[in-house]
Structure 1
Protein backbone atom coordinates (compact mmCIF):
# COMPACT_ATOMS: atom_id res chain seq x y z
CA UNK A 1 0.00 0.00 0.00
CA UNK A 2 1.43 3.33 -1.06
CA UNK A 3 1.12 6.46 1.01
CA UNK A 4 -0.85 7.13 4.16
CA UNK A 5 -3.94 4.92 4.41
CA UNK A 6 -7.04 4.86 6.58
CA UNK A 7 -10.53 3.43 6.29
CA UNK A 8 -14.13 4.52 6.66
CA UNK A 9 -16.18 1.56 7.87
CA UNK A 10 -19.69 0.62 6.83
CA UNK A 11 -20.65 -1.32 9.92
CA UNK A 12 -21.53 -4.37 7.82
CA UNK A 13 -20.16 -7.26 9.83
CA UNK A 14 -18.20 -9.89 7.95
CA UNK A 15 -18.34 -8.03 4.63
CA UNK A 16 -15.51 -5.49 4.91
CA UNK A 17 -13.22 -7.16 2.34
CA UNK A 18 -16.03 -7.96 -0.11
CA UNK A 19 -17.44 -4.43 0.03
CA UNK A 20 -14.31 -2.30 0.23
CA UNK A 21 -13.32 0.39 -2.28
CA UNK A 22 -9.61 1.26 -2.41
CA UNK A 23 -9.15 4.88 -3.43
CA UNK A 24 -5.96 6.73 -4.34
CA UNK A 25 -6.01 10.38 -3.30
CA UNK A 26 -3.73 13.39 -3.34
CA UNK A 27 -3.44 15.85 -0.47
CA UNK A 28 -5.82 18.58 -1.65
CA UNK A 29 -7.21 20.51 1.33
CA UNK A 30 -9.95 21.30 2.13
CA UNK A 31 -11.27 18.66 -0.33
CA UNK A 32 -8.92 15.86 0.78
CA UNK A 33 -6.71 16.23 3.85
CA UNK A 34 -3.86 13.79 4.40
CA UNK A 35 -3.16 14.90 7.98
CA UNK A 36 -6.39 16.15 9.60
CA UNK A 37 -6.15 18.84 12.27
CA UNK A 38 -7.56 18.50 15.78
CA UNK A 39 -11.10 18.95 14.41
CA UNK A 40 -10.73 15.59 12.66
CA UNK A 41 -12.00 16.91 9.33
CA UNK A 42 -10.66 14.65 6.58
CA UNK A 43 -11.85 16.80 3.67
CA UNK A 44 -15.32 17.39 2.31
CA UNK A 45 -14.79 15.25 -0.81
CA UNK A 46 -13.73 12.34 1.39
CA UNK A 47 -16.70 12.90 3.72
CA UNK A 48 -19.23 13.08 0.88
CA UNK A 49 -17.82 10.11 -1.02
CA UNK A 50 -17.48 8.03 2.15
CA UNK A 51 -21.07 8.69 3.22
CA UNK A 52 -22.50 8.01 -0.24
CA UNK A 53 -20.66 4.68 -0.45
CA UNK A 54 -21.57 3.78 3.11
CA UNK A 55 -25.25 4.12 2.24
CA UNK A 56 -24.90 1.39 -0.39
CA UNK A 57 -22.90 -0.91 1.88
CA UNK A 58 -19.32 -0.16 0.89
CA UNK A 59 -16.37 0.73 3.10
CA UNK A 60 -13.68 3.10 1.85
CA UNK A 61 -9.93 2.58 2.18
CA UNK A 62 -7.88 5.63 1.22
CA UNK A 63 -4.18 5.93 0.35
CA UNK A 64 -2.52 9.31 -0.15
CA UNK A 65 0.13 9.91 -2.81
CA UNK A 66 1.06 12.53 -5.43
CA UNK A 67 -1.74 13.18 -7.92
CA UNK A 68 0.07 11.92 -11.02
CA UNK A 69 0.82 8.61 -9.30
CA UNK A 70 -2.75 8.31 -8.01
CA UNK A 71 -4.18 8.84 -11.49
CA UNK A 72 -1.82 6.34 -13.08
CA UNK A 73 -2.58 3.61 -10.52
CA UNK A 74 -6.35 4.12 -10.77
CA UNK A 75 -6.26 4.06 -14.57
CA UNK A 76 -4.24 0.83 -14.45
CA UNK A 77 -6.74 -0.73 -12.05
CA UNK A 78 -4.26 -1.06 -9.19
CA UNK A 79 -6.66 1.06 -7.15
CA UNK A 80 -10.43 1.00 -7.48
CA UNK A 81 -10.69 4.72 -8.06
CA UNK A 82 -9.94 8.28 -7.03
CA UNK A 83 -11.56 10.33 -4.29
CA UNK A 84 -12.35 12.95 -6.91
CA UNK A 85 -11.12 14.07 -10.31
CA UNK A 86 -11.86 16.30 -13.27
CA UNK A 87 -13.33 14.89 -16.47
CA UNK A 88 -11.34 14.65 -19.69
CA UNK A 89 -12.10 12.67 -22.85
CA UNK A 90 -8.79 10.82 -22.46
CA UNK A 91 -9.72 9.57 -18.99
CA UNK A 92 -13.07 8.12 -20.12
CA UNK A 93 -11.39 4.99 -21.48
CA UNK A 94 -10.15 3.96 -18.04
CA UNK A 95 -12.44 5.73 -15.55
CA UNK A 96 -16.15 6.03 -14.75
CA UNK A 97 -17.36 9.46 -13.65
CA UNK A 98 -20.14 10.07 -11.14
CA UNK A 99 -22.71 12.80 -11.23
CA UNK A 100 -21.13 16.16 -10.44
CA UNK A 101 -19.79 16.57 -6.89
CA UNK A 102 -19.26 20.31 -7.26
CA UNK A 103 -17.65 23.03 -9.35
CA UNK A 104 -14.54 24.82 -8.17
CA UNK A 105 -12.71 27.96 -9.19
CA UNK A 106 -9.62 27.52 -11.38
CA UNK A 107 -7.30 30.41 -12.03
CA UNK A 108 -3.95 32.11 -11.92
CA UNK A 109 -1.92 33.10 -8.89
CA UNK A 110 0.86 35.69 -9.01
CA UNK A 111 3.18 37.34 -6.51
CA UNK A 112 1.30 40.61 -7.05
CA UNK A 113 -1.78 41.81 -8.91
CA UNK A 114 0.46 43.71 -11.36
CA UNK A 115 1.75 40.39 -12.72
CA UNK A 116 -1.79 39.48 -13.81
CA UNK A 117 -2.22 42.60 -15.94
CA UNK A 118 -3.21 41.82 -19.52
CA UNK A 119 -4.06 38.19 -18.81
CA UNK A 120 -7.67 37.27 -19.52
CA UNK A 121 -7.37 33.58 -20.30
CA UNK A 122 -4.94 30.68 -20.56
CA UNK A 123 -4.39 31.64 -24.20
CA UNK A 124 -2.55 34.74 -22.97
CA UNK A 125 0.14 32.63 -21.27
CA UNK A 126 2.24 31.85 -24.35
CA UNK A 127 5.90 32.10 -23.41
CA UNK A 128 5.15 32.69 -19.72
CA UNK A 129 6.74 30.42 -17.12
CA UNK A 130 3.83 28.80 -15.29
CA UNK A 131 3.78 26.07 -12.64
CA UNK A 132 1.00 23.54 -12.11
CA UNK A 133 0.71 20.05 -10.65
CA UNK A 134 1.87 17.30 -12.98
CA UNK A 135 -1.01 15.17 -14.26
CA UNK A 136 -3.72 17.77 -13.63
CA UNK A 137 -5.83 18.50 -16.71
CA UNK A 138 -4.53 22.06 -16.27
CA UNK A 139 -1.09 20.95 -17.46
CA UNK A 140 -2.41 20.03 -20.92
CA UNK A 141 -4.18 23.40 -21.17
CA UNK A 142 -0.94 25.23 -20.51
CA UNK A 143 1.01 23.15 -23.02
CA UNK A 144 -1.64 23.79 -25.69
CA UNK A 145 -1.40 27.53 -24.99
CA UNK A 146 2.36 27.53 -25.52
CA UNK A 147 3.27 28.34 -21.93
CA UNK A 148 6.63 27.32 -20.51
CA UNK A 149 5.28 24.70 -18.12
CA UNK A 150 6.89 23.63 -14.85
CA UNK A 151 5.12 20.52 -13.52
CA UNK A 152 5.50 19.71 -9.84
CA UNK A 153 4.26 17.01 -7.49
CA UNK A 154 1.81 18.96 -5.31
CA UNK A 155 -0.11 22.20 -4.89
CA UNK A 156 2.10 23.15 -1.94
CA UNK A 157 5.22 22.68 -4.06
CA UNK A 158 3.68 24.84 -6.78
CA UNK A 159 3.06 27.68 -4.32
CA UNK A 160 6.61 27.38 -2.97
CA UNK A 161 7.97 27.75 -6.52
CA UNK A 162 5.84 30.84 -7.13
CA UNK A 163 6.79 32.52 -3.86
CA UNK A 164 10.49 31.79 -4.47
CA UNK A 165 10.32 33.52 -7.85
CA UNK A 166 11.10 30.37 -9.86
CA UNK A 167 8.03 30.91 -12.08
CA UNK A 168 5.91 33.85 -13.22
CA UNK A 169 2.52 32.37 -12.40
CA UNK A 170 0.76 29.41 -10.81
CA UNK A 171 -2.23 27.82 -12.55
CA UNK A 172 -4.31 25.95 -10.00
CA UNK A 173 -7.40 25.55 -7.87
CA UNK A 174 -8.50 28.47 -5.72
CA UNK A 175 -9.58 26.71 -2.52
CA UNK A 176 -6.54 24.48 -2.20
CA UNK A 177 -3.92 27.06 -3.12
CA UNK A 178 -5.50 29.66 -0.83
CA UNK A 179 -5.44 27.05 1.96
CA UNK A 180 -1.65 26.93 1.66
CA UNK A 181 -1.37 30.70 1.16
CA UNK A 182 -3.15 31.25 4.49
CA UNK A 183 -0.48 29.31 6.38
CA UNK A 184 2.54 30.82 4.58
CA UNK A 185 3.72 34.23 5.86
CA UNK A 186 5.68 34.74 2.63
CA UNK A 187 2.44 34.74 0.64
CA UNK A 188 0.77 37.91 1.94
CA UNK A 189 0.90 39.66 -1.45
CA UNK A 190 -0.29 36.71 -3.54
CA UNK A 191 -3.05 37.72 -5.99
CA UNK A 192 -5.62 35.49 -7.71
CA UNK A 193 -7.67 35.77 -10.90
CA UNK A 194 -10.35 33.23 -11.79
CA UNK A 195 -10.17 31.79 -15.31
CA UNK A 196 -13.14 29.41 -15.18
CA UNK A 197 -15.25 27.10 -13.04
CA UNK A 198 -14.31 23.43 -13.12
CA UNK A 199 -16.87 20.68 -12.35
CA UNK A 200 -15.44 17.56 -10.74
CA UNK A 201 -16.56 14.03 -9.95
CA UNK A 202 -16.03 10.82 -7.99
CA UNK A 203 -14.14 8.38 -10.22
CA UNK A 204 -13.95 4.59 -10.35
CA UNK A 205 -11.60 2.45 -12.40
CA UNK A 206 -13.40 0.55 -15.16
CA UNK A 207 -11.21 -2.41 -14.16
CA UNK A 208 -12.89 -2.66 -10.74
CA UNK A 209 -15.32 -5.61 -10.57
CA UNK A 210 -18.87 -4.30 -10.31
CA UNK A 211 -17.80 -0.72 -11.07
CA UNK A 212 -20.90 0.14 -13.11
CA UNK A 213 -23.31 -1.05 -10.41
CA UNK A 214 -21.29 0.65 -7.69
CA UNK A 215 -21.35 3.94 -9.58
CA UNK A 216 -25.09 3.72 -10.15
CA UNK A 217 -25.58 3.16 -6.43
CA UNK A 218 -23.23 6.01 -5.60
CA UNK A 219 -25.19 8.40 -7.80
CA UNK A 220 -28.45 7.41 -6.10
CA UNK A 221 -26.87 8.02 -2.70
CA UNK A 222 -25.46 11.36 -3.81
CA UNK A 223 -28.88 12.48 -5.01
CA UNK A 224 -30.44 11.40 -1.70
CA UNK A 225 -27.74 13.22 0.26
CA UNK A 226 -28.40 16.43 -1.65
CA UNK A 227 -32.14 16.09 -1.00
CA UNK A 228 -31.86 15.35 2.73
CA UNK A 229 -29.31 18.12 3.36
CA UNK A 230 -26.36 15.83 4.11
CA UNK A 231 -24.14 17.34 1.42
CA UNK A 232 -24.78 20.87 2.63
CA UNK A 233 -24.15 19.90 6.26
CA UNK A 234 -20.77 18.47 5.27
CA UNK A 235 -19.85 21.59 3.30
CA UNK A 236 -20.94 23.77 6.22
CA UNK A 237 -18.35 22.06 8.44
CA UNK A 238 -15.69 23.38 6.09
CA UNK A 239 -17.34 26.78 5.53
CA UNK A 240 -17.52 26.04 1.80
CA UNK A 241 -20.22 27.16 -0.61
CA UNK A 242 -20.25 26.14 -4.26
CA UNK A 243 -21.78 28.72 -6.57
Structure 2
Protein backbone atom coordinates (compact mmCIF):
# COMPACT_ATOMS: atom_id res chain seq x y z
CA UNK A 1 0.00 0.00 0.00
CA UNK A 2 2.85 2.37 0.90
CA UNK A 3 4.46 1.75 -2.49
CA UNK A 4 1.11 2.42 -4.20
CA UNK A 5 0.73 5.75 -2.40
CA UNK A 6 4.28 6.69 -3.34
CA UNK A 7 3.55 5.80 -6.95
CA UNK A 8 0.45 8.01 -7.01
CA UNK A 9 2.41 10.87 -5.43
CA UNK A 10 5.15 10.43 -8.00
CA UNK A 11 2.63 10.62 -10.83
CA UNK A 12 1.11 13.83 -9.49
CA UNK A 13 4.58 15.30 -8.98
CA UNK A 14 5.53 14.38 -12.55
CA UNK A 15 2.40 16.02 -13.95
CA UNK A 16 3.09 19.16 -11.91
CA UNK A 17 6.64 19.32 -13.25
CA UNK A 18 5.44 18.84 -16.82
CA UNK A 19 2.87 21.61 -16.39
CA UNK A 20 5.47 24.01 -15.00
CA UNK A 21 7.95 23.11 -17.75
CA UNK A 22 5.27 23.60 -20.42
CA UNK A 23 4.40 27.02 -19.00
CA UNK A 24 8.07 28.01 -18.86
CA UNK A 25 8.51 27.04 -22.49
CA UNK A 26 5.59 29.19 -23.68
CA UNK A 27 7.00 32.00 -25.83
CA UNK A 28 6.91 35.53 -24.43
CA UNK A 29 4.15 37.56 -26.05
CA UNK A 30 5.53 40.79 -27.50
CA UNK A 31 2.86 43.46 -27.81
CA UNK A 32 3.50 46.72 -29.67
CA UNK A 33 2.53 50.24 -28.66
CA UNK A 34 3.38 53.91 -29.05
CA UNK A 35 4.30 56.28 -26.23
CA UNK A 36 0.89 57.45 -25.00
CA UNK A 37 0.98 58.46 -21.31
CA UNK A 38 -0.64 57.60 -18.97
CA UNK A 39 -1.80 54.56 -20.98
CA UNK A 40 1.65 53.51 -22.24
CA UNK A 41 4.89 55.17 -21.10
CA UNK A 42 7.95 54.34 -23.19
CA UNK A 43 10.47 56.07 -20.93
CA UNK A 44 9.35 55.79 -17.29
CA UNK A 45 10.43 58.56 -14.91
CA UNK A 46 11.71 58.26 -11.36
CA UNK A 47 8.31 56.83 -10.35
CA UNK A 48 8.97 53.86 -12.70
CA UNK A 49 5.37 53.90 -13.91
CA UNK A 50 4.93 51.98 -17.18
CA UNK A 51 1.41 53.15 -18.04
CA UNK A 52 -1.83 51.70 -16.69
CA UNK A 53 -2.75 49.86 -19.89
CA UNK A 54 0.70 48.24 -19.93
CA UNK A 55 0.39 47.16 -16.31
CA UNK A 56 -3.13 45.82 -16.84
CA UNK A 57 -2.13 43.78 -19.90
CA UNK A 58 0.98 42.30 -18.28
CA UNK A 59 -0.90 41.40 -15.09
CA UNK A 60 -3.92 39.97 -16.92
CA UNK A 61 -1.71 37.66 -18.97
CA UNK A 62 0.25 36.70 -15.85
CA UNK A 63 -2.95 35.50 -14.21
CA UNK A 64 -3.46 32.98 -17.00
CA UNK A 65 0.13 31.78 -17.08
CA UNK A 66 1.55 33.85 -19.92
CA UNK A 67 4.34 36.42 -19.94
CA UNK A 68 3.84 39.59 -21.98
CA UNK A 69 6.16 42.50 -22.74
CA UNK A 70 5.55 45.77 -24.59
CA UNK A 71 7.80 47.02 -27.38
CA UNK A 72 7.50 50.55 -28.81
CA UNK A 73 7.31 51.41 -32.50
CA UNK A 74 5.69 54.15 -34.65
CA UNK A 75 1.92 53.64 -34.87
CA UNK A 76 1.70 53.26 -38.65
CA UNK A 77 4.36 50.54 -38.52
CA UNK A 78 2.45 48.75 -35.76
CA UNK A 79 -0.74 48.82 -37.82
CA UNK A 80 1.15 47.35 -40.78
CA UNK A 81 2.52 44.61 -38.50
CA UNK A 82 -0.98 43.79 -37.26
CA UNK A 83 -2.25 43.55 -40.82
CA UNK A 84 0.59 41.22 -41.83
CA UNK A 85 0.53 39.12 -38.65
CA UNK A 86 4.03 40.07 -37.46
CA UNK A 87 2.83 41.30 -34.07
CA UNK A 88 0.63 39.55 -31.53
CA UNK A 89 -1.36 42.67 -30.73
CA UNK A 90 -1.54 46.48 -30.73
CA UNK A 91 -1.92 48.49 -27.53
CA UNK A 92 -4.03 50.50 -27.07
CA UNK A 93 -6.44 50.78 -29.96
CA UNK A 94 -10.04 51.71 -30.60
CA UNK A 95 -12.68 50.09 -32.75
CA UNK A 96 -12.88 52.04 -35.98
CA UNK A 97 -14.19 51.43 -39.51
CA UNK A 98 -12.17 48.73 -41.27
CA UNK A 99 -10.05 47.79 -38.27
CA UNK A 100 -12.15 44.72 -37.50
CA UNK A 101 -11.02 43.20 -40.81
CA UNK A 102 -7.59 42.44 -39.36
CA UNK A 103 -8.15 42.72 -35.57
CA UNK A 104 -9.77 40.58 -32.88
CA UNK A 105 -10.70 43.05 -30.13
CA UNK A 106 -10.35 42.26 -26.45
CA UNK A 107 -12.85 43.43 -23.88
CA UNK A 108 -12.35 47.16 -23.12
CA UNK A 109 -9.28 47.86 -20.99
CA UNK A 110 -9.57 51.65 -20.59
CA UNK A 111 -11.37 54.71 -21.94
CA UNK A 112 -10.72 58.29 -23.04
CA UNK A 113 -12.56 61.55 -23.50
CA UNK A 114 -12.50 63.09 -26.97
CA UNK A 115 -11.62 66.74 -26.73
CA UNK A 116 -10.41 69.70 -28.71
CA UNK A 117 -7.32 71.25 -27.16
CA UNK A 118 -6.75 74.96 -27.71
CA UNK A 119 -4.26 77.51 -26.46
CA UNK A 120 -5.30 79.41 -23.34
CA UNK A 121 -5.77 82.59 -25.36
CA UNK A 122 -8.06 80.99 -27.97
CA UNK A 123 -11.00 83.35 -28.61
CA UNK A 124 -12.82 81.59 -31.44
CA UNK A 125 -16.15 79.79 -31.39
CA UNK A 126 -16.23 77.19 -28.60
CA UNK A 127 -16.79 73.71 -30.11
CA UNK A 128 -19.25 71.71 -28.03
CA UNK A 129 -19.33 68.79 -30.46
CA UNK A 130 -16.86 67.46 -32.98
CA UNK A 131 -18.82 69.02 -35.85
CA UNK A 132 -18.77 72.50 -34.26
CA UNK A 133 -15.10 72.84 -35.27
CA UNK A 134 -15.79 72.84 -39.01
CA UNK A 135 -13.94 75.67 -40.71
CA UNK A 136 -11.23 75.90 -38.04
CA UNK A 137 -7.58 74.90 -38.41
CA UNK A 138 -7.31 71.51 -36.75
CA UNK A 139 -4.44 69.14 -35.96
CA UNK A 140 -4.87 65.38 -35.46
CA UNK A 141 -2.45 62.45 -35.21
CA UNK A 142 -2.09 60.60 -38.50
CA UNK A 143 -3.38 57.02 -38.36
CA UNK A 144 -5.30 57.35 -35.10
CA UNK A 145 -9.03 56.63 -34.89
CA UNK A 146 -9.54 60.35 -34.17
CA UNK A 147 -8.35 61.14 -37.69
CA UNK A 148 -10.93 58.74 -39.14
CA UNK A 149 -13.64 60.46 -37.13
CA UNK A 150 -12.78 63.86 -38.58
CA UNK A 151 -12.56 62.41 -42.06
CA UNK A 152 -15.96 60.70 -41.75
CA UNK A 153 -17.49 64.00 -40.62
CA UNK A 154 -15.94 65.87 -43.57
CA UNK A 155 -13.95 68.12 -41.25
CA UNK A 156 -10.72 69.46 -42.72
CA UNK A 157 -7.56 68.91 -40.69
CA UNK A 158 -3.78 68.68 -40.93
CA UNK A 159 -2.18 65.36 -39.88
CA UNK A 160 0.81 65.34 -37.54
CA UNK A 161 3.15 62.48 -36.60
CA UNK A 162 3.04 62.57 -32.79
CA UNK A 163 1.12 64.16 -29.95
CA UNK A 164 3.91 66.18 -28.32
CA UNK A 165 4.71 67.81 -31.65
CA UNK A 166 1.01 68.60 -32.13
CA UNK A 167 0.91 70.47 -28.82
CA UNK A 168 4.01 72.46 -29.64
CA UNK A 169 2.67 73.38 -33.07
CA UNK A 170 -0.67 74.34 -31.53
CA UNK A 171 1.04 76.76 -29.15
CA UNK A 172 3.53 78.22 -31.59
CA UNK A 173 1.83 78.31 -34.98
CA UNK A 174 -1.42 79.44 -36.54
CA UNK A 175 -3.70 76.55 -35.50
CA UNK A 176 -6.95 76.64 -33.57
CA UNK A 177 -7.46 73.13 -32.21
CA UNK A 178 -5.90 69.71 -31.62
CA UNK A 179 -8.39 66.79 -31.66
CA UNK A 180 -7.25 64.07 -29.26
CA UNK A 181 -7.78 62.31 -25.91
CA UNK A 182 -8.06 64.65 -22.95
CA UNK A 183 -6.50 62.23 -20.42
CA UNK A 184 -3.34 61.99 -22.50
CA UNK A 185 -2.91 65.74 -22.93
CA UNK A 186 -3.54 66.46 -19.25
CA UNK A 187 -0.81 63.99 -18.32
CA UNK A 188 1.89 65.21 -20.69
CA UNK A 189 0.99 68.90 -20.32
CA UNK A 190 1.81 68.61 -16.64
CA UNK A 191 5.19 67.09 -17.47
CA UNK A 192 5.92 69.76 -20.08
CA UNK A 193 4.83 72.51 -17.66
CA UNK A 194 2.29 73.89 -20.11
CA UNK A 195 -0.96 73.13 -18.27
CA UNK A 196 -1.63 76.86 -17.85
CA UNK A 197 -1.16 77.47 -21.56
CA UNK A 198 -3.95 75.23 -22.86
CA UNK A 199 -7.67 74.67 -22.42
CA UNK A 200 -10.07 71.86 -23.31
CA UNK A 201 -13.37 71.68 -25.15
CA UNK A 202 -14.82 68.21 -24.57
CA UNK A 203 -17.05 66.94 -27.37
CA UNK A 204 -19.21 64.62 -25.27
CA UNK A 205 -17.72 61.57 -27.00
CA UNK A 206 -16.10 58.83 -24.92
CA UNK A 207 -14.08 56.08 -26.58
CA UNK A 208 -12.82 52.72 -25.35
CA UNK A 209 -9.39 51.20 -25.81
CA UNK A 210 -8.74 47.50 -26.38
CA UNK A 211 -5.86 45.08 -26.73
CA UNK A 212 -6.11 44.43 -30.47
CA UNK A 213 -4.96 40.99 -31.58
CA UNK A 214 -3.82 40.46 -35.15
CA UNK A 215 -6.19 38.05 -36.90
CA UNK A 216 -3.20 36.60 -38.77
CA UNK A 217 -1.34 35.65 -35.59
CA UNK A 218 -1.53 31.93 -34.77
CA UNK A 219 -4.24 31.21 -32.17
CA UNK A 220 -5.31 34.86 -32.16
CA UNK A 221 -8.83 34.17 -30.89
CA UNK A 222 -7.58 31.76 -28.22
CA UNK A 223 -5.09 34.36 -26.96
CA UNK A 224 -7.79 37.03 -26.98
CA UNK A 225 -10.10 34.82 -24.91
CA UNK A 226 -7.26 33.93 -22.53
CA UNK A 227 -6.48 37.60 -22.03
CA UNK A 228 -10.16 38.42 -21.40
CA UNK A 229 -10.18 35.73 -18.72
CA UNK A 230 -7.21 37.30 -16.94
CA UNK A 231 -8.68 40.79 -17.35
CA UNK A 232 -11.95 39.69 -15.75
CA UNK A 233 -10.02 38.22 -12.81
CA UNK A 234 -8.02 41.39 -12.06
CA UNK A 235 -11.17 43.50 -12.34
CA UNK A 236 -12.99 41.22 -9.89
CA UNK A 237 -10.29 41.16 -7.20
CA UNK A 238 -9.53 44.91 -7.24
CA UNK A 239 -6.12 44.72 -8.94
CA UNK A 240 -7.36 46.72 -11.95
CA UNK A 241 -8.53 49.59 -9.73
CA UNK A 242 -5.30 49.48 -7.72
CA UNK A 243 -3.25 49.88 -10.89
CA UNK A 244 -5.26 52.90 -12.04
CA UNK A 245 -5.10 54.49 -8.59
CA UNK A 246 -1.32 54.90 -8.96
CA UNK A 247 -1.84 57.32 -11.87
CA UNK A 248 -4.25 59.72 -10.15
Relative to structure 1, is the Cα distance of residues 186 and 230 closer, same or farther in structure 2, using a 3 angstrom cutoff?
Answer: closer
For 1:130 and 1:17, the matched residues in 2 are separated by 49
For 1:28 and 1:88, the matched residues in 2 are separated by 18
Matched ranges for 1:141-156 at <5 A: 141-156=149-164
Please point out which of 183, 200, 217 is paired with 1:208. 217
Which consecutive unaligned segments of at least 5 residues does structure 1 have? 1-11
Relative to structure 1, is the Cα distance of residues 166 and 183 closer, same or farther in structure 2, using a 3 angstrom cutoff?
Answer: farther
Cα deviation for residue 236 of structure 1 reads 0.8
Deviations 1:10-37 (CA, angstroms, capped at 9, x unpaired): xx66756633222110000011000001
Provide the secondary structure at the position in 2 that maps to 1:188.
helix
Provide the secondary structure at the position in 1 that maps to 2:69.
strand
For 1:129 and 1:142, the matched residues in 2 are separated by 12
Relative to structure 1, is the Cα distance of residues 14 and 152 closer, same or farther in structure 2, using a 3 angstrom cutoff?
Answer: farther
Structure 1 stretch displaced more, 80-89 or 130-139? 80-89
- In 1, are the aligned partners of 2:115 and 2:180 still within 8 Å (CA)? yes
Residue 46 (str. 1) matches residue 54 (str. 2) = yes
Q: Which has the higher strand share?
A: 1
Provide the secondary structure at the position in 1 that maps to 2:109.
strand
For 2:172 and 2:226, the matched residues in 1 are separated by 46
For 2:124 and 2:145, the matched residues in 1 are separated by 22
Which consecutive unaligned segments of at least 5 residues does structure 2 have? 1-19
Q: Which runs of 4+ in 1 moved over 6 A?
A: none
- In 1, are the aligned partners of 2:30 and 2:88 still within 8 Å (CA)? yes
Please point out which of 52, 77, 82 is paired with 2:85. 77
Deviations 1:133-179 (CA, angstroms, capped at 9, x unpaired): 11111101212333331111211111111111242100001111112
Residue 223 (str. 1) matches residue 245 (str. 2) = no
Cα deviation for residue 106 of structure 1 reads 1.2
- In 2, are the aligned partners of 1:110 and 1:116 still within 8 Å (CA)? no
Residue 163 (str. 1) matches residue 171 (str. 2) = yes
Q: Which has the higher helix share?
A: 2
